[in-house]
Structure 1
Amino acid sequence: MAQHINKKARFHSVTANRLLDGEPVYLTAANVWSDVITDAAIADGKEEGAKLLEQAQAGVVDQIVVNPYLFDVDGEDGEAKPLSVREQIRAAGPTVRLDLGKQAS
């Protein structure tokens, strides 16, 4: 299971790919999957991150998502903002054209 976290990072969220269409999705505090990153639950610390990742496994068992993993976010204001370029791209959509993907909305 891949994890994209920095050992010094404080806040984490869980992402995966939806099996139906391959879109990146985020685990929410209500334990459902959303395609909007600002809906993502934010774990404060390693223990909470591990619990969040464990909750995400239900989505794998139910065949909703594949490959859930933790990633670093800036969660100071209560809204998940990805820290890595990789996760920023996954959250926004393709980088080739700004009229495609989530950034087009």
Structure 2
Amino acid sequence: MKLLTANRLVDGEVVWLAADGRWAEDIAEAEIARDAEAAGRLEEAGRAAAARNEVVDVNLIDVEIVEGRIRPTRLRERIRAAGPSIHPDLGKQARRGVLAPV
């Protein structure tokens, strides 16, 4: 399973491509690609958004479902999804039920 992640160009916020085509700030809203064809569609949407200068650093990432929630498999992406690892009171992790980075 894969998601498309990027940084929103206007403010640097970590975002994920949602099924409705918008860039969501919450990983729970991300569209999950369950096969190569769906992953290809996500990549194409990411290239188009980057060409429009909406986002930068567009990447497909591997994810799994843990306790019913999306969890990136790489630590780097878990930190990007949650926020600063030394300040659990800040970032996305301070918002509703985001899995801890580690």
TM-score in terms of structure 2 length:
0.83
Q: Root-mean-square deviation (CA), in Å?
A: 1.9
The number of equivalent residue pairs is 95
- Listed as ranges, the gaps of 5+ residues in structure 2 are 96-102
- Kindly report structure 1 stretches of 4+ aligned residues shifted beyond 6 Å: none
- C-alpha separation in 1, matches of 2:67 and 2:16: 18
Over residues 49-76 of structure 1, what are the superposed CA-to-partner deviations in whole Å (9 max), with x where a residue is unaligned? 1111111122112211012110001159
Q: Which stretch of the first structure deviates more once superposed, 69-78 or 54-63?
A: 69-78
Over residues 8-28 of structure 1, what are the superposed CA-to-partner deviations in whole Å (9 max), with x where a residue is unaligned? xxx000000010111110001
Structure 2 counterpart of 1:32, one-letter code? R
Secondary structure of the corresponding residue to residue 42 of structure 1: coil
Give the aligned partner of residue 21 of structure 2: 31
Please say if residues 60 and 66 of structure 1, whose CA atoms lie closer than 8 Å, have aligned partners that are also in contact.
Answer: yes
Instruction: Return the match for 1:15 from 5, 27, 36.
Output: 5
Please say if residues 42 and 78 of structure 1, whose CA atoms lie closer than 8 Å, have aligned partners that are also in contact.
Answer: no
Give the aligned partner of residue 100 of structure 2: none
Aligned-pair identity (%): 43
**CA distance change for structure 1 residues 54 and 76 in 2, over 3 Å: closer, same or farther?**
farther
The reply to whether residue 67 of structure 1 matches residue 31 of structure 2 is no
TM-score in terms of structure 1 length:
0.81
Q: CA deviation at 1:77?
A: 8.7
Give the aligned partner of residue 92 of structure 2: 102
Give the aligned partner of residue 50 of structure 1: 40
Please say if residues 24 and 35 of structure 1, whose CA atoms lie closer than 8 Å, have aligned partners that are also in contact.
Answer: yes
- Listed as ranges, the gaps of 5+ residues in structure 1 are 1-10
Please say if residues 41 and 80 of structure 1, whose CA atoms lie closer than 8 Å, have aligned partners that are also in contact.
Answer: no
